[in-house]
Amino acid sequence: MVPTPITVRVPAKVNLHLSVGDSRQDGYHELVTVFQALSLTDEITVRSSDEPGIEVHGEGSESVPLDSDNLAWRAVLELARASGRDPDETGVHISINKGVPVAGGMAGGSADAAATLFALNALWKLELGRDELSEIAGRLGSDVPFALQGGTALGTGRGERLVPVLARHTYHWVIALHGEGLGTPEVYTELDRLRRNSDNRVGEVEPLLEALASGDPRELALLLGNDLQAAAVSLRPGLRRTLRAGVDAGALAGIVSGSGPTCAFLCTDGDEAVRVAAELSGAGVCRTVRVAQGPVPGARLVGDEHVDRPPTPPQVHA
């Protein structure tokens, strides 16, 4: 009997705070970050198949690898090894429907890997707990464990060590997407280069955690910070115009999301976010504008009656 295909919905992330330490001996940087999961999502369907492989649909899908360079396929191999299966005989086909920007600094590839782990756990009836899946996820990439967890969380180490954070508010965001992605290694290399001449860094994370607990978006807006922003802007100088245009349109604050080039703008409420998105879309400073909210849950089975599906965010084309 062929098992029923499993579909999982998984969110994008934005870094509300991203403090990047010096490069470690293993080549990674020590991070202190606060993640928030947003209502931009990918959907991943995993099924048993005599023709294993990956197919990708949606915006930016042409640039997503369809081999072992795809983090979702690496998740298949990693979970196979962890569960005693032959990685060369997985018999799995993955279908990815992209709603998270590709190479946009919102952890779309990591989200797909997390969703694949979650789906295969159900398809193969492994009954692994979320903590066990998170341990496997951490071996795949720094952002993969958070995509499993969702919500709002403090990440340390490479970002893979997570502690849930209390957030007393639904926060409303405008997301400005750009046509050309940025590679995360490229941005970190540029940050290291910039720091040889100037070593400006974001402040401590505690005030931002207090702002999240207060539930006041205006207070939170004052404390958003990302050490990678300067490097992303150095590589894509046009991001300065995007960040300025979003604030001019009425956003409380704007920030480059992760390694960029996507920019995220915090707004006072949902109506204001739609208004800011409409104005920003006409400013000619980005390719597409979307509205999102957070926090939302991490990877979840589609049709799970215990979890409400986040509303589909409106999309505004520039």
pLDDT tens-digit readout, 200-237: 899 899 999 999 999 999 999 999 999 999 999 999 99
Q: Is 87 contained in some domain?
A: yes
Whether residue 286 lies inside any domain: the answer is yes
Residue 97 lies in a domain: yes
30 and 152 together in one domain: yes
In this predicted structure, what is the pLDDT of residue 275? 98
Which residues 6+ apart lie within 8 Å of 91 measured at CB? 48, 49, 50, 52
The answer to whether 98 is a known catalytic residue is no
CATH number for the domain spanning 183: value is: 3.30.70.890
What pLDDT does residue 303 have? 79
Domain containing 119 equals: 6-166
Question: Which residues are documented as binding site?
Answer: 101-111
* Per-residue model confidence (pLDDT) at position 87: 87
Q: Tell me what the pLDDT averaged over the chain comes to.
A: 91
Q: Does 307 reside within a domain? A: no
User: 141 with 213, same domain?
Assistant: no
Residue 89 has pLDDT above 70, yes or no: yes
pLDDT of residue 304: 66
Residue 219 lies in a domain: yes
Residue 305 has pLDDT above 60, yes or no: no
Binding residue ranges for ATP: 101-111
Per-residue pLDDT for 318 more than 70? no
Task: Please tell me the predicted confidence (pLDDT) of residue 25.
Answer: 80
Residues 18 and 152 in one domain: yes
Number of domains in the chain: 2
Percent of the chain predicted with pLDDT > 90: 75
Residues 153 and 18 in one domain: yes
Question: Among the listed ranges 74-88, 111-125, 163-177, 295-309, which one has the minimum average pLDDT value?
Answer: 295-309
pLDDT of 314: 44
Residue 135 belongs to a domain: yes
143 catalytic per annotation: yes
Q: Residue 186 corresponds to which tokens in the numbers above?
A: 């490229």
What does the block give as tokens for 21?
């330490």
Task: Judge if 95 and 176 occupy the same domain.
Answer: no
Residues 135 and 229 in one domain: no
Which of 13, 42, 98, 227 is catalytic? The answer is 13
